[in-house]
Amino acid sequence: MRVAARGLRLLGAVVLGTVTALLDLVFVLVTLPFAGRPGVREAARRLAVLDARRLRLDPADLGLTEGHTDGRELRYLAARAPVGVLGGLVVFLLGCGVGTAVVLAWSWGRGRPVDGMLPSLPLLAYFCLAGLVLLFLDLSGLVGVHALEQRLAVRMLGPDPSEALRRRIAELTESRAGVLAAVDSERRRIERDLHDGLQQRLVALSMLVGRARRGRPELLEQVHEQAQQALVELREVAWRVYPSALDSLGLADALAGVAERSGVPVTVVCDLSARPPAAVETAAYFVVSEAVTNAAKHSQATGITVEISKHDKMVIVRVQDDGVGGAAAGSSGLSGLARRVAALDGRFTVTSPYGGPTLIEAELPCG
| Domain ranges within the chain, ordered by starting residue | 2-158, 175-241, 248-365
What pLDDT does residue 323 have? 86
pLDDT at 231: 67
Q: pLDDT tens string for the chain (367 positions)?
A: 677 788 888 888 889 989 999 898 898 888 888 877 888 888 888 888 888 888 888 887 777 776 667 778 888 888 999 999 999 999 999 888 888 888 888 888 887 887 777 878 888 888 889 888 988 988 899 999 999 999 998 888 877 667 667 777 777 776 666 665 666 566 666 666 666 666 676 667 667 666 666 666 666 667 667 677 766 666 666 556 666 667 777 888 888 888 888 888 999 998 888 888 888 888 888 888 888 888 888 888 889 999 999 888 889 999 999 888 887 776 766 777 888 888 788 889 988 888 878 899 999 888 6
DSSP state of 118: -
Quick one: pLDDT at residue 145? Answer: 92
Report pLDDT for 330: 67
Asked whether 303 and 322 are in contact (CB, 8 A), the reply is yes
Residue 113 pLDDT = 81
Contact 281, 246 (CB under 8 A): yes
Q: List the alpha helices (DSSP H) in 110-120.
A: none
C-alpha pair distances (Å), 298 with each of 236, 264, 294, 301, 362: 19, 11, 6, 8, 20
Q: How far apart are the first and last CA of the chain?
A: 28
Handedness of CA 131, 136, 142, 144 (dihedral sign): negative
Spatial separation of the C-alpha atoms in residues 310 and 195, rounded to whole Å = 40
Topology annotation, domain 248-365:
Heat Shock Protein 90 (3.30.565)
Q: Where do the H-state alpha helices sit in the chain? A: 2-31, 38-54, 72-109, 121-157, 161-192, 200-213, 220-241, 244-248, 251-261, 278-298, 332-342
Query: Alpha carbon of 155 to those of 27, 146, 150, 151: distances in Å?
Result: 21, 14, 8, 6
